Amino acid sequence: MTYPLEGVQVLDLSRVLAGPFAGRMLSDLGADVVKLEPPQEDLTRLWGAVIGGVPGYFHQQNAGKRDVCIDLSIPEGVALAQQLAAKADIVIENFRPGVMDRLGLGYRQLNAARKDLILLSISGFGQDSPESQRMAYAAVIHAESGLVTRQARDGRPPQDIRVSMSDTNAALHGLVAVLAAMHLRQTTGLGQHIDMSMLDATVVTDDQLLYHLEDSHDTGPAAPDIWDTGFGPVLIAGDFRHIWRQLNTRADVEDPTQAGASLEQKIQQRRESAATFFRSLRTRAEVQEIMESLGLAWGEVRDSSTLMESDTVRHRGVLTEVDDRVGGLRVIPQSPYRFSDAEAAVRSGAPHRGEHNEEVLRDWLELNDEDVDRWLASDALVAAEL
């Protein structure tokens, strides 16, 4: 089987998460993704367990890529980056708006060298908004989009969500736009500059936003409850009124409320009765049998470290292993794309900084030995000392 994007060349100038995650997914789909890393290193090389010289966070977002380390602060480095971009089908960047232009790598400059180039620019607030120059990590967008306030429940103060959703949403929407632009250029022969805002991507992906915009919170479904069982906590999706009805009519859980009880009393007493019933369930098999018999959707409230204990995770290979570069294997999330007659998979671990300097010069630029040696001896290229 072939990879859908086999033969597609991607130059990834991005850092941290939003851009690198898009590049990782393109690599899983078969693209040759070259990460252009600065001498100062990607910030995520500071995060996570270091195995084989590669930190965990960087590893997850940059697996399968090749790495060149180019100093864009000097003209020779910019000139080399321009040559690589001219060979790329897709360029990814997430600098603040205007930085690429100042470096000489803006869309107009790159498009002049290759008319069908697709440039994906991911930023917090868009390329031309009044706030385009603000620093924007995921948490900032979570705050600005209302997600942080929404996390406040039961009188607790607002708090951030523990996943960088604004980054990954921008990456995935950016990926959709890139694939659409690739399809379009088959007809037009022209590239595109894609302006992907993290704020835009977060808002459009927010399925709960309408309740806040239209002040219609009472028309939506209730938040799911988490119940203790002898097996451990489980989340049961659905309105408690429906759950109670199933417990009362199909599981023979008696209604403890008395005639004349207030609505608040009825709710409290029925919840206590439901909680007692759920605590009586001792095993996962018992929980699953009861939930299926009652037609209730439920989930085990897992710690992420126990994902490999899930039958489905193991069966589908949701987590896989790649060479850890020190004689062992390292766990990493597998590509989520499953095709009937094509392949998608993480194909290797993440690279060291500048590991593929020479290889990319030969493969992408098709330079001879003399030119390769000249570039390797220049100040434009840097290689990490391992």
| Whether the predicted pLDDT of 384 surpasses 80 | no
How far is Cα 229 from Cα 369, in angstroms, rounded to an integer? 68
How far is Cα 70 from Cα 88, in angstroms, rounded to an integer? 16
Catalytic residues, by residue number, are 167
Does 322 share its domain with 340? yes
pLDDT at 386: 60
Does 121 share its domain with 259? no
Category of 363 on φ-ψ map: left (φ > 0), alpha (ψ -120 to 50) or beta: alpha
Ramachandran angles phi, psi of 48, nearest 5°: 95, 165
Does 138 share its domain with 274? no
pTM of the full structure: 0.92
Residues 147-161: pLDDT tens digits? 999 888 767 889 999
Q: Are 301 and 226 in contact (CB under 8 A)?
A: yes
Q: Residue 273 belongs to what domain range?
A: 234-300
In this structure, what CATH number is given to the domain that contains residue 52? 3.40.50.10540
Q: In what order do the strands lie in the sheet with 298-300?
A: 225-227, 234-236, 298-300
Residues 294-349: pLDDT tens digits? 999 999 999 999 999 999 999 999 999 999 999 999 999 999 999 999 999 999 99
- What is the domain count for the chain? 2
Give the confidence band of 114 by pLDDT, cuts at 50, 70, 90: very high
Q: Are 283 and 231 in contact (CB under 8 A)?
A: yes
Give the confidence band of 232 by pLDDT, cuts at 50, 70, 90: very high
Does 295 share its domain with 330? no
